[in-house]
Amino acid sequence: MWTDPIVEEVRKNREAFSAQFNFDMRAMVKALQEMEKESGRKLVSFAPNALKENPERVEEFSQQGNSIGNRLDPP
């Protein structure tokens, strides 16, 4: 079976990173957030701004989320 060396490298790095934090998701997220802060790069998020500028769309977004959730729920 053929394996992609790039995918294998990503998996190896993911495993090594996770092992550093004993596979604790909260610890991994905290470490990644620290890395983001230390990078000095500007972080952007578009969703909150869209809702602040158009508060009438909040209901629309919440309805979309509910309809998606309903489709994903098992019968």
DSSP 15-51: HHHHHHTTT-HHHHHHHHHHHHHHH-PPP--SHHHHH
Q: Are 27 and 21 in contact (CB under 8 A)?
A: yes
Q: Check residue 43 and give its pLDDT.
A: 77
- Provide the whole-model pTM: 0.53
Structural domain for 68, as ranges? 44-75
Q: Number of structural domains, the chain? A: 2
Q: In terms of domains, do 4 and 29 share one?
A: yes
Q: In terms of domains, do 33 and 4 share one?
A: yes
Q: In terms of domains, do 26 and 49 share one?
A: no
pLDDT digits (tens, 9 = 90+) for 20-73: 999 999 999 999 999 999 998 887 766 655 556 666 666 666 666 544 444 444
Q: In terms of domains, do 1 and 22 share one?
A: yes
